[in-house]
C-alpha cells in the first residue's frame, strides 16, 4: 500500500490549488495521471497526450475497425499520418494581425458561444516494442436550449483519412463509411453539467485565461498548458466571435509561438500555421483561420527518437481538427 500511496502523491493529480470547484469530476490531466500509475516507469517521459473523449471500449472498437478494413494477415490499413507542411509566402498573416481581425469582427457581431462541438481527432497509441496507431475518430455533440443533447462518435474509415463522416442535423447521422463507437441522447436539463467547462465561458482575455486555468492547471502561466486548455475547451464549446477573439489574443501573447506559413489541413482547409517547441520532446503546430481567428487544427509531433516506442523525430503524436 505504501508504494501505491507514494505513486499517487508523486503524481499529484488534483493539487490543492486546482481551483474553486474542487468537487467536480477529474479533469483530463488528472485522469491521464491516474490511469498511468499502475504501469508508471519513473524514467519514462511523457510524449503523448491522450485523446480525452475516447474511452477504453471506444479505442478497442477503433482497433477492431482497423483490423476489419485491413483483413487478417495483411499490413494495417491505419497508418500514422504525415505532419502538416507549411509554406511561407508573401501574404502570410502575423498572429497579432489575426487577433486584431478577430477582435474587430467580435466588436461588430459579438455573438454567443454554443455548447457542443464537431471535431475529428487522431492519436498515436504507444506501447513498448509494438507498432500501434489509433484510427481517426469524429465526434459531434449538440445541446438544445432545454438542456437536452446528443453525442455521436464514429471511427472514420482509415482508407479515407480526413473525410468527414458525420452530417450535422437533428439527430446527427453518419454520411460516409465508419464504425459508430458511441451514440448518446441526454434528457432535458442535462446540459453537460457532469462534464468539464460546464459554466458559460466569460468574455475578456484575462477572464477567459482564468476560466481555462480552473480546468487545466497552469493554463494561466504555462504555454503548453494553455494550448492543452484551448484544445480541451474547444472540444466542449464552439466559441462565438468574442471567445474566438479572446483565444486568438491569448495565443498571440505566447512567447515562442512562431509563424511558419500557410498550410492546407487534413480537411482541405487553408490556414495560417504557427509552431511552438517547448523543449520537452514535443512540438505543436497551431493552425488558425487568418480571416476570423478560429482555431482549425492543433497537431503535436515528437522532436526526438524513442526506440522503445518505435517512434522517430517528426512523427505525429496526435492531431485535432475542428469542423
Angle between helices 28-36 and 2-11 (to 10 degrees): 150
More confident residue, 20 or 111: 111
> What does the pLDDT read at residue 60?
44
Q: Which three cell numbers stand for residue 5?
A: 500511496
Among candidate residues 83, 121, 84, 135, the one with its CA nearest the CA of residue 312: 83
- pTM of the predicted protein model: 0.76
More confident residue, 165 or 234: 234
Query: Is 85 a residue whose pLDDT tops 60?
Result: yes
Contacts of residue 226, Cβ cutoff 8 Å, sequence gap at least 6: 209, 212, 216, 219, 220, 250, 254
Determine the Cα–Cα distance for residues 101 and 99; give it in Å rounded to an integer: 5
Q: Please check whether residue 114 is in contact with residue 307, taking contact to mean a CB–CB distance below 8 angstroms.
A: no
Phi, psi of 154 (to 5 degrees): -135, 135
Largest pairwise CA distance in the chain = 62
Residues 162-182 have a mean pLDDT of 70
Query: Is 160 a residue whose pLDDT tops 60?
Result: yes
Q: Please check whether residue 196 is in contact with residue 141, taking contact to mean a CB–CB distance below 8 angstroms.
A: no
Q: What is the DSSP string of 75-105?
A: PPS--PPPPP--B--TT---HHHHHHHHHHH
What is the gyration radius of the CA atoms in the chain, in angstroms?
Answer: 20
Determine the Cα–Cα distance for residues 247 and 105; give it in Å rounded to an integer: 14
Q: Which three cell numbers stand for residue 212?
A: 481555462
Average model confidence (pLDDT) across the chain: 78
Per this entry, what is the length of the chain?
A: 323
Residues 182-204 have a mean pLDDT of 85
Determine the Cα–Cα distance for residues 120 and 168; give it in Å rounded to an integer: 13
How many beta carbons lie within 10 A of that of residue 37, not counting itself?
Answer: 13
> What does the pLDDT read at residue 167?
72
Q: Which pairs from 76-80 meet CB under 8 Å and 24+ separation? A: 76/131, 76/133, 77/158, 77/159, 78/133, 78/134, 78/135, 78/158, 79/133, 79/158, 80/124, 80/133, 80/315, 80/316
Tens-place pLDDT, residues 294-315 = 999 999 999 998 888 788 899 9
Determine the Cα–Cα distance for residues 214 and 205; give it in Å rounded to an integer: 15
Amino acid at each position: 500500500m505504501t508504494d501505491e500511496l507514494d505513486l499517487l502523491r508523486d503524481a499529484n493529480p488534483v493539487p490543492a490549488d486546482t481551483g474553486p470547484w474542487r468537487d467536480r469530476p477529474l479533469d483530463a490531466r488528472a485522469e491521464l495521471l491516474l490511469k498511468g500509475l499502475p504501469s508508471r516507469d519513473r524514467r519514462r517521459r511523457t510524449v503523448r497526450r491522450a485523446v480525452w473523449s475516447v474511452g477504453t471500449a471506444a479505442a478497442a472498437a477503433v482497433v477492431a475497425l482497423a483490423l476489419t478494413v485491413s483483413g487478417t494477415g495483411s499490413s494495417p490499413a491505419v497508418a500514422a499520418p504525415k505532419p502538416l507542411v507549411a509554406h511561407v509566402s508573401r501574404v502570410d498573416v502575423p498572429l497579432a494581425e489575426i487577433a486584431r481581425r478577430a477582435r474587430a469582427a467580435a466588436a461588430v457581431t459579438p455573438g454567443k458561444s454554443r455548447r457542443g462541438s464537431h471535431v475529428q481527432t487522431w492519436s498515436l497509441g504507444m506501447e513498448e516494442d509494438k507498432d500501434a496507431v489509433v484510427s481517426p475518430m469524429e465526434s459531434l455533440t449538440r445541446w438544445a436550449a432545454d438542456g437536452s443533447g446528443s453525442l455521436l462518435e464514429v471511427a472514420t474509415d482509415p482508407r479515407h483519412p480526413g473525410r468527414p463522416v458525420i452530417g450535422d442535423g437533428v439527430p446527427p447521422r453518419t454520411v460516409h463509411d465508419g464504425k459508430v463507437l458511441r451514440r448518446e441522447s441526454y434528457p432535458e436539463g442535462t446540459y453537460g453539467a457532469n462534464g468539464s467547462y460546464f459554466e458559460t465561458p466569460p468574455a475578456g482575455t484575462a477572464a477567459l485565461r482564468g476560466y481555462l486555468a480552473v480546468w487545466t492547471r497552469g493554463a494561466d502561466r504555462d504555454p503548453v498548458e494553455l494550448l492543452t486548455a484551448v484544445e480541451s475547451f474547444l472540444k466542449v464549446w464552439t466559441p462565438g466571435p468574442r471567445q474566438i477573439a479572446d483565444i486568438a489574443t491569448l495565443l498571440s501573447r505566447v512567447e515562442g509561438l512562431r509563424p511558419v506559413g500557410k498550410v492546407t489541413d487534413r480537411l482541405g482547409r487553408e490556414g495560417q500555421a504557427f509552431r511552438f517547441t517547448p523543449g520537452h520532446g514535443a512540438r505543436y503546430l497551431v493552425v488558425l483561420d487568418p480571416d476570423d481567428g478560429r482555431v482549425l487544427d492543433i497537431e503535436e509531433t515528437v522532436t526526438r527518437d524513442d526506440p522503445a516506442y518505435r517512434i522517430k523525430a517528426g512523427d505525429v503524436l496526435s492531431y485535432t481538427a475542428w469542423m
